[in-house]
Structure 1
């Protein structure tokens, strides 16, 4: 009887989580910013409804950047947790805008699937109208969870960008949840199946150059999810494989990553 009662309580808790689309399980923001060293950047604040989202605009030493990369980071931390990923690209001449959605870093509010998608498009519209951005080529870079919004934005703005980078990205919110709780897969699919997903949005990026970066030793996102998104993507596309853990391609193969990103512009 005790086991049955425990299972019933667990089931009720899971239903409550699902009713909120498990937002608090996907988004794990941190407010404290680590020191950002050896990078020249500008702090930005953008109003979103009653909240404010913040970003950093990182500039290369070159006067004319090769392109502008809009970088969407993963579920945990904030922009300062991911600057190691962009340093080689900045050194190579790219200017990069890294955004903290609601709840992350200095941004106010609470992140949800809905407001991240809405804020992402508003952020894109504002940034691409800037004088120092609008005459450059635009690349979208999604790291881990950030791949969902990056691919969603690529679908909606395909004709305004020059390429999409997915680094360790999950195939969908439902797929990653099911990977860790397979016993609830059917329920997860019913609740999260209609939330925007990289594996579906990628189908609508025809003609857009795409780069996929994955490791078979990734302990966070199954390699098979990267294979699925890649299979659903149309040409031109390329797959860069490395052997380190999640999001560490830039530490193992920095020159290869830079070269692959540069190739999106050709």
Structure 2
């Protein structure tokens, strides 16, 4: 059975953060791998995407994008075939019957909704997209459709935690050069390195954009191999490929 984690902040809005449980893939991709860019069997990937979609909203159309670690956002007005996925890292819509799906394997999935306006958004915030404003632009796109920032609820799903996310001091300096206050998201690590709390950084960006309610699920993808795919863990284990999980939201 597909496991969907829910956020209290999005109660009443169809949504769910899926992990790897409940899919048909095997081997290093075992479970609910939905990543079209992985080395998994395509038939298994497509079956997993259907399983995920039907676990949330049977009969709806799942829309995903070709994620490129950008701040780019698209407005979705209808279904998009897998072959015609545009390059982007976030989506917004006000159309019922469409599921916005974001794929991750350590990066931060963010689901957003202005339930009163009937507008939802989904963003893939890797460190590049987070730093260049993918969540800010997602909120702006929702506002353009009629949402209000103070009415938006946002949920941050399973992602790599600070204790699992070691980065170099030069990496941290890139964030501090953008804003000196960003130093608070880095804590001391081994020599020449530090630990990055990317979820807290994304939450702070949402707060600075005026989002009314922000929830963090606090689920570490790296340390829970039975529940989540993790790019970094796969690299550390020397695996040839890795799976991706999906976070989904739709207009209620």
TM-score past 0.5 threshold = no
**Bigger Rg, structure 1 or 2:** 1
Scaled by the length of structure 2, the TM-score of the pair is: 0.36
Scaled by the length of structure 1, the TM-score of the pair is: 0.35
